[in-house]
Amino acid sequence: RDTIFIPGEEYAIVRFRANNPGLWSLHCHITWHSGMGLIMLFASAPEMMQESVQVPDGVLEQCRLQGILTSGNAAGNNGGFNYAAAPNDPYLLVEDPLSN
């Protein structure tokens, strides 16, 4: 019901209704794959989460000590479409809508 088998060198397109606020993991069930970065998080209704989730001061302090940004989106960008923090590979599949 919540598992898709994908043969080697193939892919799947997944469509779902993102109507439950939170961070949701899409991952492989082979443990070492997660360690290699084959995992992603979907943020559903981040504005609602910002209103209801309080990050403990100790966590914010650890971020500050490590130079990790704690405002903006997941890449620390505040506003607009800013792909500066996106990885070079794989290439982005969408064009910047503000480039026209």
- The per-residue pLDDT for range 9-51, each reduced to its tens digit, is 888 888 878 788 888 888 777 788 777 777 888 888 877 887 8
Q: Which pLDDT does position 57 carry in this prediction?
A: 93
Q: pTM of the predicted model, to two decimals?
A: 0.47
The tokens describing 83, both together, are 């792909």
- Asked if 20 and 14 touch (Cβ cutoff 8 Å), the reply is no
Note the pLDDT tens digit of each residue in 42-99: 888 877 887 888 889 999 999 889 988 888 766 666 766 555 655 555 555 555 555 6
Q: How far apart are CA 21 and CA 83, in angstroms?
A: 24
